[in-house]
Structure 1
Amino acid sequence: MLLTSAMSGFTSGMGLLICVGSQNAFVLKQGLLRHHLFAVAATCILSDIILISSGIAGLGTLVKHWPNVMEFVRYTGVVFLAWMALSSAKQAWYGNAHLTPSGTAPAHIKPVLMSCLAFTWLNPQVYLDTVFMLGSLSMPYSGIEKWKFAIGALTASAIWFVAITYGAKVLLPLFRKPHAWRVLDTTVALMMVYFCVSLLTTPLISS
Structure 2
Amino acid sequence: MIFPSLASLAVYVPALLSGFGLTAGLIVAIGAQNAFVLKQGVQGMHIGAVVLLCCVYDIVLEACGLAGMGGVILAHPGLIEAVRYGGAAMLTIYALRSWRAAWRGATSLTAQAAPELVSRPARPAPWATVSAAVAGAQGGSAGTTIMARGSGPLARANGNRGLRTEAGSLRKALMTVTLLTWLNPHVYLDTVVLLGGVGGRLPWPSRGWFGVGAMAASCIWFVLLGYGARRLSGLFARPAAWRILDASIGCVMFAIAASLLLARFPA
Q: Specify the TM-score bucket, using the shorter chain as the normaliser.
A: over 0.9
Q: Which residue in the other structure is 1:131 paired with?
A: 192
Aligned pairs for 1:163-174 (under 5 A) are 163-174=224-235
Aligned pairs for 1:145-156 (under 5 A) are 145-156=206-217
Higher share of residues assigned helix:
1
The answer to whether the aligner puts 1:109 opposite 2:170 as a matched pair is yes
The answer to whether the aligner puts 1:161 opposite 2:222 as a matched pair is yes
The answer to whether the aligner puts 1:79 opposite 2:140 as a matched pair is no
Q: Which residue in the other structure is 1:54 paired with?
A: 64
- Aligned equivalents of 1:132, 1:28: Cα separation in 2: 26
- Aligned equivalents of 2:44, 2:106: Cα separation in 1: 17
- Residue 170 of structure 2 aligns to which amino acid in structure 1? I
- Residue 140 of structure 1 aligns to which amino acid in structure 2? R
Q: Structure 1 stretches of 5 or more lacking a match? A: none
- Aligned equivalents of 1:128, 1:42: Cα separation in 2: 22
The answer to whether the aligner puts 1:18 opposite 2:28 as a matched pair is yes
Higher share of residues assigned strand:
2
- Aligned equivalents of 1:40, 1:20: Cα separation in 2: 17
The answer to whether the aligner puts 1:121 opposite 2:211 as a matched pair is no
- Residue 151 of structure 1 aligns to which amino acid in structure 2? V
Q: Which residue in the other structure is 1:177 paired with?
A: 238
Deviations 1:114-172 (Å, cap 9, x if unpaired)?
Answer: 11111111122211221111112213311211111001000000000000111112212
Q: Structure 2 stretches of 5 or more lacking a match? A: 1-10, 115-165
Q: Which residue in the other structure is 2:141 paired with?
A: none
1:65 corresponds to which of 75, 83, 108: 75
- Contact 2:68 2:200 (8 Å CA) reproduced: no
After TM superposition, the score normalised by the length of structure 2 is 0.74
- Aligned equivalents of 1:123, 1:131: Cα separation in 2: 12
Task: Please report how far the alpha carbon of residue 103 of structure 1 lies from its aligned counterpart in structure 2 after TM superposition.
Answer: 4.1
1:89 corresponds to which of 87, 99, 118: 99
Identity of aligned residues (%): 39
The answer to whether the aligner puts 1:204 opposite 2:212 as a matched pair is no
Deviations 1:7-39 (Å, cap 9, x if unpaired)?
Answer: 110111111110000100000000000011110
After TM superposition, the score normalised by the length of structure 1 is 0.94
Deviations 1:176-205 (Å, cap 9, x if unpaired)?
Answer: 111111111111111111111111111222
- Contact 1:5 1:148 (8 Å CA) reproduced: yes
| Closer, same or farther: CA 179–147 of 1 in aligned 2, 3 Å | same
- Residue 104 of structure 1 aligns to which amino acid in structure 2? Q
User: Size of the alignment, in residue pairs?
Assistant: 204
> What is the aligned-residue RMSD (CA, Å)?
1.2
